[in-house]
Amino acid sequence: MWHDPPVTVAAAPDPRLARLRLAAGSAALEIAPDVGGRVAALEVDGWDLLRRHGWTDREWGAFVMAPWIGRLRLGRVSWAGRTWQMPPDEGPHAIHGTVSAMPFTVTEIGTTRARLEAPLGPDWPFPGRVAQVVELAPKHLLLRLELHADREPMPGILGWHPWFHRRAPRVADARAQTGEVAVVVHPAYRVELDRHGLPTGGLGPPPETPLDDVLLNLIAPPVVRWPGGPTLSLHAPEAQAWIVYAAHPDGVCVEPVTGLPDGLNGGLLGEPPVARPGRPLTATFEIAWG
């Protein structure tokens, strides 16, 4: 008896693996639209500078933090006489906003520039969206964020969370690596944090070697340097603070942010910035190399 051969159905490609690639001179990058619209890789002069993988989506690439950064105490937002509850996804707290792993829609793409947008999601109480513009040039990467309020004013704090390799590998041969990365940063103050990484309301002297610190009043742009590899200079004119995290065995983070952890609820820097319909909050982050 004749039997039809079994039908083989190819598995649908995982959209999380999709990448857009931009290139300029000896620099190139990849964007992961379906994983927070993040910069998934950055290559400079043949060196691979960003972690491409992690145990979680909080441990790789350079992702957007919006409409808050860091931890939100107990997941609560209290503003203008009202209080809302965000889902706790870091113990009892909520962390890094609502869009860090959300799919973004690509609204513009070229060889050196892309624009992506995403809604703020159903858990955020204000209708709105975030847009990121990525522009690559031979000597720098420029990122721009926009936080749009659709119908009513809303508080917002923006930032980026880049994961730099501790030892950067060569793109063509991962066995060839730089020396261990050094982060050069000169703040005036360190924000005192409790055991949950949330501000206590006090300021302290800057640490000799930042490990997991929120830093204020930098006297010069941060520098990320790999012996035998590139040196990066970081610029973020709207940043009110920088967070340096160096406790991970494989990477370090140098994060420009427009407010503090739990800053939607006030604190050391006062009331948070406000996005209004037709008047988005914006921030820029430039990573430059020689």
Could you report how far apart the first and last alpha carbons of the chain are, in Å? 72
As a CATH number, domain 15-175+244-285 is 2.70.98.10
9 or 83: which leads in pLDDT: 83
- Nearest Cα to Cα of residue 126 among 81, 90, 161, 77: 77
Count CA atoms within 13 Å of residue 258 on its CB side: 27
Whether 159 shows a pLDDT value over 70: the answer reads yes
Domain ranges of the chain: 15-175+244-285
Read off the pTM: 0.95
State residue 10's pLDDT score: 52
State residue 290's pLDDT score: 87
Q: From residue 21, how far is each of 18, 36, 114 by CA, in Å?
A: 10, 16, 10
Torsion of CA 144, 94, 62, 285, to 10 degrees: 30
Helix (H, G, I), strand (E, B) or coil at 114: strand
Whether 145 shows a pLDDT value over 80: the answer reads yes
DSSP annotation of 83: E
DSSP codes of every residue in 144-164: EEEEEESSS-EE---EEEEEE
State residue 1's pLDDT score: 46
Q: Are 68 and 264 in contact (CB under 8 A)?
A: yes
pLDDT digits (tens, 9 = 90+) for 24-69: 999 999 999 999 999 999 999 999 999 999 999 999 999 999 999 9
pLDDT digits (tens, 9 = 90+) for 175-208: 999 999 999 999 999 999 999 999 999 999 999 9
Whether 269 shows a pLDDT value over 80: the answer reads yes
Whether 85 shows a pLDDT value over 70: the answer reads yes
- Mean residue pLDDT across the chain: 95
Confidence tier at 8 by pLDDT (50, 70, 90): very low
Q: From residue 93, how far is each of 69, 78, 169, 182, 242 by CA, in Å?
A: 12, 14, 35, 31, 21
State residue 13's pLDDT score: 79
Of the candidate ranges 4-13, 52-61, 81-90, 250-259, the one whose mean pLDDT is the lowest: 4-13
pLDDT digits (tens, 9 = 90+) for 101-138: 999 999 999 999 999 999 999 999 999 999 999 999 99
DSSP codes of every residue in 238-255: T-SEEEEE--SSSEEEEE
